[in-house]
Every structure is written in structure tokens, then in C-alpha cells.
Chains A and B, each alone.
Chain A
């Protein structure tokens, strides 16, 4: 009981994990973020290979265009910044699962101990 609060606090701190935790937009590796990576792009109808970044007009209005299958289209970060698509956070899901089960067990045992002690 003496160290119980400390154990719970440590578990909660590891649950937050601060910078290493999963907020996909913050912790995604560069290859996951699709907007600025190098890719083939067709503006004119003819195949060209160039490295470029888009300005905002290229993803809307009359300049809107679609990439080949397998390449990411513009304005789709929201789609790929979801847990199912971001494999790099799956290990963190496992970590959280283990910590939560540990916390549940500690809280359960502690409340049982307190109940008996008070009676």
C-alpha cells in the first residue's frame, strides 16, 4: 500500500509517454507523411519525372488531379493519419494495453485491500 500511489503514478506517466506517444501527426516518420514526398506527377498529360512540392492550387479547383494507384493523392493526410494506417503506432497500442491491464489489476487489489482494512 505504501508504494501503491507511486506505482500508479509511474504507470500513468508511462501511459502518457509524452513525445514518444501516439499522436500520428506529431510522431509519424517522414515516409508516412504523403504531401511532401518525392513522386511522379503528371500535369500536362505527358509522363514527367520531377521532384516538387505542390502549392495549394494543385489540389483543388481546375488543377485537381489524381495520382496512379498506390500513390497518395493530395489532401488525404486525414485519411492516412488514422491508427489503422499508421503501423508505427501499433507497438504503442500494445504498450498501452499492457499498462492498462496492469493498472486495472493494481486498482482492483488495492480497493479490495482498503475495503477489508476499513471493516
Chain B
């Protein structure tokens, strides 16, 4: 475990010293600030819009962070030949993947936490109460973010960074569609489309902005189930990524 955690901390320091993360964080903060202005323009005198758009912003932020943080890590390591001495001697491929993943996940956690706190501050500045489920909802979005991070790592082992981003975004969109909607993309291949959709993740389990914005309580057991589901899918994607990585020759 020591090599993995050391490598995760190396990754964390590496990502923080590069500028990508700061760019994404600034975009999220600007988006939150913009959302905070909505009631001021008289669209609503309630906090519903702030919560709804704020959580939506965090959801998109999780996606952007995953792509921005992880899409380029492996290709850069390979291109700059920093991968070779690491894999040749101190690290196994599994340790490399887990170290990079945990490092990127730590940065993502910090950024999402900052986003959640930012949303709370905006609610307070507008004289609104902070719903009790807001923090658990943000945690679910963080689990979604980790899952997306695993997806980006998986794609990064067999595609280029310019292809990784659209593929991840496509998966993000398709994974929120109901089966009926997914089938309507290709109605002639109904059976195939049904099976394909049911194999894709159900990312709607992570999205609870609607009940929170409308003040509907969420049972605690649901948070637990959705978190376990997200972590299991993340583990599945990481195992797939490692299987691809292990099959690769490092020329």
C-alpha cells in the first residue's frame, strides 16, 4: 500500500503544480457565482433555482474535472517516457493505475468539496436555509465523479485524449437515458439497444437535485445504496482499465 499512497501523493502534487485544475476550479466558481445571481433578476424568490442549478453545476463540474484531470495523465507519461522507469522498477501496473487514480480522486474531492461549500455560501448570502440533504447529495455527485474518473482512465489506455473527452461525455449522456429513450435512437434494433442500455451504468441514481430543490426528504438508506452502486461500478471500470493496461506493450 505504501508505494500506491506515495505515488498518489506524487500525482496530487503533480496535478496541483500544473494549471489544469485551477482553470476548472475557476470555471466552477464563476458558474456558482452566476447561479447565485439568478434570484436577483426576479426569476424566483425561492432558493429552488439556486439549489437546482447549483447541483447541476457540480454534476457538470464532476464530469469536467474527471476529463481535465485524468484524460492526459497516461498519454503524457507515455509520451514523455516517465512511465518506463516507473513501471520497469518500483511499481507494478496495478500500483501505477491505483496511484494515479487515487491522486486524481483526491484533487477531485477537494474541488468538489470547495464547490459544495461555495454553493452553501451562496445560499446563505441569499438568506436561504441549507437543506440537510445538500451535503449527501454533493457526496453522491462526488462518487459519480470518481466513477467518471475511472471511465476516463479506462478510455485513456486505448484512445487518444481528443477522443477520450467525447467518449466520456457520450457515456455520461447515454447513461442517464431511460431504456425507452435509448431504444428510440435505433428503433429497428430494439433488442440490441435494450441490452446495450441495461449494460451501461444508471447514472441517474446519483442525481437527487430535484427532490432537494423541492424539499422532499431522501431516505438515508438510498444514499448508502447509491454510493455502493457507484463504488462497485468504479471498481468494475478500474478492473477493465487495468486489464487493458496489462495487455499493452510499453514500446
Contact = CB atoms under 8 A, between A and B. Distances in A.
Touching in the complex, A and B, CB below 8 A? Answer: yes
Interface of A: 12, 15-18, 21-26, 79, 81-85, 90, 93-94, 96-98, 100-101, 103-105, 107-108, 110-112, 114-115
Contacts of A96: 202, 229, 232
Nearest to A79: B210
Nearest to A115: B246
Q: How large is the interface on B (under 10, 10 to 19, 20 to 34, 35 or more residues)?
A: 20 to 34
Given A22-B202, A82-B210, 7 more contacts: A23-B178, A93-B228, A94-B225, A96-B229, A103-B236, A107-B242, A107-B243
Interface of B is mostly: helix
Contacts of B210: 79, 82
A21 B198 contact: yes
B110 interface: no
A96 B242 CA distance: 21
B77 interface: no
Nearest to A103: B236
A91 to B, nearest CB: 9
Given A26-B180, A104-B239, A107-B239, A93 B229 contact: yes
Nearest to A110: B243
